[in-house]
A and B are shown apart, each in its own frame.
Chain A
Amino acid sequence: MKGLIIKDLMCLRKMRVTFVFVTVSSFIITVMALISARCGNIALAEQEYLAGGTDMPMSPVHMLWYAVSVMVLLPLASIGDSLTLAFEADKNSGFANVAGALPLSVKQRVTARFITLFLTCGTGTVISLVLSLILSLFTDIMTLGDFAGLVLSAAALILIFSALEMMLIFLLKMKNTDYVRIISLLIMSAVFILCSLGRIIGAVRAMKPVELITDGLLFLENRWFILAAAAAVCLLVSYFVSAGIAERKRGEI
């Protein structure tokens, strides 16, 4: 099984460059913005905003908070799609034939893929947490706890997304990974809309959509454990469904 995990990680080698580029560039840009908020142009703009000398609808520091939140999540998001890439690589090479001849059960093959997912997502999370620790030294906009909450929420969302992708691939025998991605995204969006329908309607009626984003970010920062619990449930369901179907539809997937 370890061999399959190694093979999957080899498939994801081409993602290394993207991941390093996104991580380094988002880190540098964030550090520069945070320094600017302390003693640069953003700090001056904030002073002007507080003095009432501008008609900006939102404080520059508040806007920076949004931007930093997105930047922190970028490295994780860049490896979020590792699962479908591994499936795609197997499909393109015809690896299913080789895998079928290996001394491994179908369940072990599915387990290997889940472990690969945990390894990639785990690596991304650890790197993002380390970057968060460094970033928290440059600013008081967000505490280390806020950063960590965001990163853990993002990791949980990626795991939920991947759990859905995995189920779709096995359940519907979906070979086109683009469809898998889109449908997973649509399902997650639909669940989000259903769960926060009241808030969305309220924000739209009050013409305050920005508040919705702020609430969303605060939720991600402080309620990451809810998403983590949801991710755990989704992964468990996905694992048993995927392993069961893969066994039943042996040779087809």
Chain B
Amino acid sequence: MDSYTNVIELDNVVKDYGDFKLDNISFSVPKGSVCGFIGQNGAGKTTTIRLMLDVITADSGEIKLFGEDIKGNAPRLREDIGVVYDEMGFHEFMTGKDINIMMKHIYKNWDENVFFDYLKRFSLPSKKKCGDFSRGMRMKLQIAVALSHNAKLLVMDEPTAGLDPIVRNEILDIFREFVLEEDHSIFISSHITGDLEKIADEVVFIDGGKLFLQGNKDEILERHGILKCRKDEINSISKSLIVGVQEGAFGVDVLINDMKAAAKLYPELVIDRTSLEEIMLFYVASARR
């Protein structure tokens, strides 16, 4: 099982709900990396995660985790996956101790010492009902559970949504610690691109059920740039370089997909570095046009 190179592989995955379709999604996440799965609400992030975990079945396509097809293997493969959702999911009457009792009878590799250590580290009382926890505490509880059974892959669906910046940073630190182990990987979906910019190595952009950009985060950020020009200058810019255009009061911002080529072709124009958020906004806007 350790001979795989990609911890997650999706190949032409389709899931059609009628009113929403996940359309031919293909991407892979290299082992040992942190992959940010970016898209606005309703883009298909949760559906993709549910497909990956085999909670729902794909209409077509192939999904591999740890190099193995999930069909028929999903329950076994989930032993090595820690999952964190945006909502807690545990019964509100349950305490940390209750969750430990439940989980140690479910996961073969459950380590209760690790679990209670995390509870202590996160200042989570083990005898308090989790229904009385704040949102941040609930998230930390889920992370404690996800990290207490020797998982090799963390799959997280909007884990930092609705959290204050301090708790978000704390959680990001935990993720950084997790990926220090060579074979540990993280797949994290979020619409808060700032968080992903901090920790992701790879990024996958999705919108309206369609994947429109994927690759190494640094390469994507190096490649893309915001070219600033006047309205009348747009027509002189090569169409193949333009991803999207945003008109402002004093000029036009153009997202270009090859900053080096643009700098050579148009040395007189200013090209600024961009962020994942800007890239997402431009791609989404151009896809809707």
Contact = CB atoms under 8 A, between A and B. Distances in A.
A7 B55 contact: no
Most chain B CB atoms below 10 A, which of A11, A90, A97: A97
Contacts of A2: 105-106
Given A93-B90, A97-B85, A10 B105 contact: no
Contact of A3 (B76, B79, B89, B102): B102
Interface string B58-88: 0000000000000000111111010101011
Nearest to B92: A93
B155 to A, nearest CB: 8
Interface stretch (B93-101, B165-173, B233-241, B280-288): B93-101
A109 to B, nearest CB: 10
Contacts of B108: 103
B53 interface: yes
Interface in A81-98: 89-90, 92-98
B91 interface: yes
Nearest to B79: A103
Contacts, number: 85
Most chain B CB atoms below 10 A, which of A1, A3, A104, A105: A3
A60 B98 CA distance: 51
A94 B87 CA distance: 8
A102 B55 contact: no
B105 A101 contact: no
A202 interface: no
A193 B259 CA distance: 80
B20 interface: no
Contacts of B103: 3
Contacts of A151: none
B104 interface: yes
A236 interface: no
B94 A10 contact: yes
Contact of A101 (B78, B91, B93, B102): B78
Given A10-B98, A250-B56, A104 B93 contact: no
A102 B87 contact: no
B50 interface: yes
A11 B91 contact: yes
Contact of B89 (A6, A11, A94, A250): A94
A133 B98 CA distance: 36
B107 interface: yes
A89 B102 contact: no
Nearest to A94: B89
A10 B91 CA distance: 10
A251 interface: yes
Contact of B91 (A1, A93, A100): A93
Contact of B75 (A94, A96, A104): A104
Q: How large is the interface on A (under 10, 10 to 19, 20 to 34, 35 or more residues)?
A: 20 to 34
A155 interface: no
B5 interface: no
A93 B78 CA distance: 21
Contacts of B107: 102-103
Given A3-B105, A6-B105, A102 B78 contact: yes
Interface of B is mostly: loop
Contact of A97 (B75, B87, B92): B87
A95 B91 contact: yes
A108 interface: yes
A4 interface: yes
A104 B106 contact: yes
Contacts of B98: 10
Given A103-B76, A251-B56, A4 B87 contact: no
A96 to B, nearest CB: 8
Contacts of B85: 97-98
Given A3-B106, A94-B87, A95-B91, A101 B101 contact: no
B57 interface: yes
Contacts of A103: 75-79, 106-108
A127 to B, nearest CB: 24
Contacts of B57: 250-251
27 contacts: A3-B102, A3-B106, A4-B106, A10-B91, A10-B93, A10-B94, A11-B93, A13-B93, A92-B92, A93-B91, A93-B92, A95-B89, A95-B90, A95-B91, A98-B89, A98-B90, A100-B53, A101-B55, A101-B81, A101-B155, A102-B75, A102-B106, A103-B76, A103-B79, A105-B75, A108-B75, A250-B56
Interface of A: 1-4, 6-7, 10-11, 13-14, 89-90, 92-98, 100-105, 108, 250-251
- Sorted from nearest, which 6 A-B pairs have the closest CB atoms? A251-B56, A3-B106, A3-B105, A100-B55, A101-B83, A98-B89
Interface of B: 50, 53-57, 74-79, 81, 83, 85, 87-94, 98, 101-108, 155
Given A10-B102, A102-B107, 14 more contacts: A1-B106, A3-B103, A6-B101, A6-B102, A93-B89, A94-B87, A96-B89, A97-B87, A100-B55, A101-B78, A102-B78, A104-B106, A250-B55, A250-B57
